[in-house]
Chain A
Amino acid sequence: MGTNILEMRSITKTFPGVIALDKVSLTVERGEIHAICGENGAGKSTLMKVLSGVYPHGSYEGDIVYENDVMSFKNIRESEAKGIVIIHQELALSPYLSIAENIFLNNEIKKNGLIDWNKTGQEAQLLMARVGLIENPNTKVMDIGVGKQQLVEIAKALSKRVKLLILDEPTAALNDEDSAHLLSLLRHLKDQGISCIIISHKLNEIAAIADKTTIIRDGKAIETLDMKADHVDQERIIKGMVGREMDNRYPAHETNVGGAEILRVENWTAHHPDDPNRVVVDNVNIHVRKGEIVGLAGIMGAGRTEFARSLFGKSWGTNITGTVYVNGKEVQVNTIKQAIDNGLAYATEDRKRFGLNLIDDIKRNISIASLDDFVKRGLVNDNEEFKVASEYRTSMNIKAPSVLSVVGKLSGGNQQKVVLSQWINVKPEVLILDEPTRGIDVGAKYEIYTIIQRLADEGKGVIVISSELPELLGICDRIYAISEGCITGEVSKAEANPELLMKYMTTEKGSK
């Protein structure tokens, strides 16, 4: 046996009119964690789909050599039978089935043609122990968090005797703690001889965990970096991804502090909708000045999104109390309409589920929250709508042939720009942007930061919620830290640093 578990040789995959992969080669050694980096649309996912048989043998050129044999997978089942398992970003679990049932889904342990539930439970427990998942195997998957669901996926992969595990953005939806656990699990699996390919946008994680990193850009494999030998840091990876040094990932910006107070929230408290006794947002007091970019830092589950959504028309939670002042005047925010009319806007963290009508065009997505502004004599003026949307397409640099293009076909970055256009067009005083750069590539992130700064320069207040501390440190004038629903710290740009913020973000209740 050679030292390489996988060799993809000169893979070329074309779609009508597009070369998605252009002679890409990838070599993974046995027991190696191999990261694949690249901007969105660079071809990472296509490469993994070729490997796992989603694109069957014959639909691409080049060879896949796995364990020294040339493979010709016709579908995922054949690749899984050989021990190649892919875990997608959107988890493929059935929420109403138990952990054990999910682990052995389509791979059930049978005795005399019937499912052996005792053995299933027993085996599931063994697998759960291997991935460090402490739960009852009969718990329904919908009742555990995303981090644990990710572990169920890995346990499921282990049950299939995985030799090469492929993870697509495994930590995108995880908080730092769960991410850390997952990464240490991957190291652990590596020691057991399981090789791993990980696709990630989180460069710090890659720098921490990967043995080698292959960078893909525009369908070509640009380079493979040996993380140990070459002293590779994040800047080096970014350079490869974008094809240039990005000295500054955050555009330079004059901070606008000292403006008049535009938003003040006092004693804001919200309870969980399913459990009215549980306080999720606990007596939050914040304020935002005109032209200020304020960060809201917190680990996932700290109540960041819950705070924002309870503030935005009470669209989350029950028993919400507190006072809101916009431009010094107390306002009511009991419905979303009321919140919008009073100058608030909220762009969701999950644009596909909560932000966009993916089957409709750019124009109608941009206008939907401000449709009343387009009404003349009872009818929507769609010419005016087209004009306004086209202006946003230009000013926001939305890459699409026209505003009549369907939003679902745009890339993540462009979809995010549509979401921002939609909310900018309601002409709010304060914009709350929840994870504005999640799942979009480095180039588009830079553009989004520029847009955020432009909004601040126009005199709006901007609240940015983000899991990525460097992002908050890079663009915010002031940052609040939130933990367990409480504001646990407030730091200005000058005094902010990751260690201090992380300390506040992990402050537990009562200890402060």
Chain B
Amino acid sequence: MSISNEKKVSFLDNLRSRLEGVNLRQNGIFLALIGLIVFFAATTPNAASITPTNWSNLVVQNGYILVLAIGMVMVIIAGHIDLSVGSVAAFIGAVAGILVVRPLEQDGWEWLPALPWWAGLIGAVIVGAIVGVWQGFWVAYVGIPAFIVTLAGMLLFRGMALMTLQNSNIGPFPDEFRAIGNGFLDKENALGTAIGLPDQYNAAALLVTVLGILAIWFQALNKRRASIRYSQPVEPRTWFYVKNSVLTVMVAYVGFQLANANGIPFTLILLTFLIVVYSLVMNKTTFGRHIYAIGGNLHAATLSGINVRRVNFWLFVNMGALAAVSGILIAARMNSAVPKAGDGFELDAISSVFIGGAAVQGGVGTVIGSMVGGLIQGVLGNGMNLNSVGIDAQMTIKGMVLLLAVAFDVWSKRRAK
């Protein structure tokens, strides 16, 4: 009897010591996402939430919110907010429409040469950056709180979207442009045919998935090895392998499902690229570090020699450019630029960031956390749709999720003290 008791204790102690150094709070939100996916897989009729097509939809329908959330988390870490991104996205959609399509008769834009789709894209992103220059100027150099500047911007750019579109829609877009929001990598499965793979599997998608998994392990092992070499504390070995294996299984599963549908959406490729680049920016560049420093203690950051104004300015330029990317994704997906595009998206982006663990006071937050936060909202909305939950109940539930997620965050922080 006593022997088995001892064993139990030592096993628990062992487990506890193994879990030391594991950031439960950060991993908790990731587990919540998995829990949601499992829940909807079990409850939706015919497990509709985990069909290949639905996985594909999930990515494409949330891509533009997630792109906004990347810029938003940076703004929020620095202690600001941006309420204008939905309007800016609509305005940029309109600008892209004018640049690429120009279908309106007597629209006053006749002087402008018609641009090829790619030039229109670049032009639209540049206009987005200019919008950011405008807002960044007021926030950084005049010193008006971002809440006010972007609240004004919310009206201003919605108005400009309406003016540009003259209360109608512009569309359809050229196929190449549409592909950004709707297209898939090698949809015709030319690669699969070439190497003789069964037709229901998209070979390009499988290849990208395998490469992705290799990249994940390469990066994780590399980082761990470097940390050990510099005798930094690392996650317990078991946890490290468990965590990355779970991630691998998830990526493999989603990749396989996408391969079973139309292949990998271009939106996902773009999004992955942005997540990797911006995670790097936030963790490994002086610009990113300065953002955290400013949000953590503005005075200390200033006295450390950080040019706070310049950082704030470029933050908003960056947000403008990302809002433009989001606007392009929306327009491409809807195949038309409409005045109401992006309505309320700023709130979805802000919710994603806070569900993802950012602090209202600034200084805290991660790109990847915001992505998980955005996906939690996306999976929730998608699952409720499939379960035929009414829009009224959906809003109520989403509101509660935001509140409870942040409450949990506050509670766990207080407990840690």
Q: Give residues in A with beta carbon < 8 Å to B.
A: 312-313, 315, 335-337, 339-340, 346, 348, 353-360, 364, 368-369, 371-372, 375, 378-380, 382-384, 386-387, 390, 402, 404, 422
Q: Please tell me if the beta carbons of A359 and B363 are within 8 angstroms of each other in the complex.
A: yes
Q: Distance (Å) between the CB of B393 and the closest chain A CB? A: 37
| Chain B hits for A315, CB < 8 A | 302-303
Most buried by A among B230, B300, B302, B364: B300
Q: Please tell me if the beta carbons of B232 and A357 are within 8 angstroms of each other in the complex.
A: no
Q: Please tell me if the beta carbons of B284 and A382 are within 8 angstroms of each other in the complex.
A: yes
Q: Distance (Å) between the CB of A41 and the closest chain B CB? A: 16
Give the docked Cα–Cα distance between A335 and B293 (Å): 18
Q: Please tell me if the beta carbons of A357 and B289 are within 8 angstroms of each other in the complex.
A: no
| Chain B hits for A404, CB < 8 A | 232-233
| Chain A hits for B364, CB < 8 A | 359
Q: Give residues in B with beta carbon < 8 Å to A.
A: 226-227, 229-233, 280, 283-286, 289-290, 292-293, 296-297, 299-307, 359, 363-364
Q: Please tell me if the beta carbons of B297 and A356 are within 8 angstroms of each other in the complex.
A: yes
- The answer to whether A369 and B286 touch (CB under 8 A), given A359-B296, A383-B227, A383-B229, is no
Most buried by B among A339, A356, A371: A371
- The answer to whether A369 and B363 touch (CB under 8 A), given A359-B296, A383-B230, is no
Give the docked Cα–Cα distance between A450 and B380 (Å): 59
Name the residue on A nearest B299 (C-beta).
A354
Q: Please tell me if the beta carbons of A336 and B305 are within 8 angstroms of each other in the complex.
A: yes
Q: Please tell me if the beta carbons of B285 and A380 are within 8 angstroms of each other in the complex.
A: yes
Which among A336, A358, A382, A383 is the interface contact of B303 at CB below 8 angstroms? A336
| Chain B hits for A354, CB < 8 A | 297, 299-300, 303
| Chain B hits for A384, CB < 8 A | 230
Which among A335, A336, A360, A390 is the interface contact of B363 at CB below 8 angstroms? A360
| Chain A hits for B280, CB < 8 A | 379
| Chain B hits for A337, CB < 8 A | 305, 307
- The answer to whether A386 and B232 touch (CB under 8 A), given A354-B300, A358-B297, is yes
Give the docked Cα–Cα distance between A371 and B306 (Å): 10
Give the docked Cα–Cα distance between A335 and B304 (Å): 11
| Chain A hits for B363, CB < 8 A | 357, 359-360
Q: A337-B307, A383-B227 are in contact. List 4 more A-B contacts (CB 8 A).
A: A354-B300, A354-B303, A378-B285, A387-B230
| Chain A hits for B300, CB < 8 A | 353-357, 368
Q: Distance (Å) between the CB of A439 and the closest chain B CB? A: 17
Give the docked Cα–Cα distance between A346 and B286 (Å): 21
Q: Distance (Å) between the CB of A482 and the closest chain B CB? A: 21
Q: Please tell me if the beta carbons of B289 and A364 are within 8 angstroms of each other in the complex.
A: yes
Name the residue on A nearest B304 (C-beta).
A369
- The answer to whether A380 and B296 touch (CB under 8 A), given A337-B305, A364-B289, A368-B289, is no
| Chain A hits for B285, CB < 8 A | 375, 378-380
Q: 25 A-B Cβ contacts within 8 A?
A: A312-B303, A315-B302, A335-B307, A336-B302, A336-B304, A340-B305, A354-B297, A356-B300, A357-B293, A357-B296, A357-B300, A357-B363, A359-B363, A360-B292, A360-B293, A360-B296, A368-B304, A371-B290, A379-B284, A380-B283, A383-B232, A384-B230, A386-B230, A390-B231, A422-B304
| Chain B hits for A390, CB < 8 A | 231
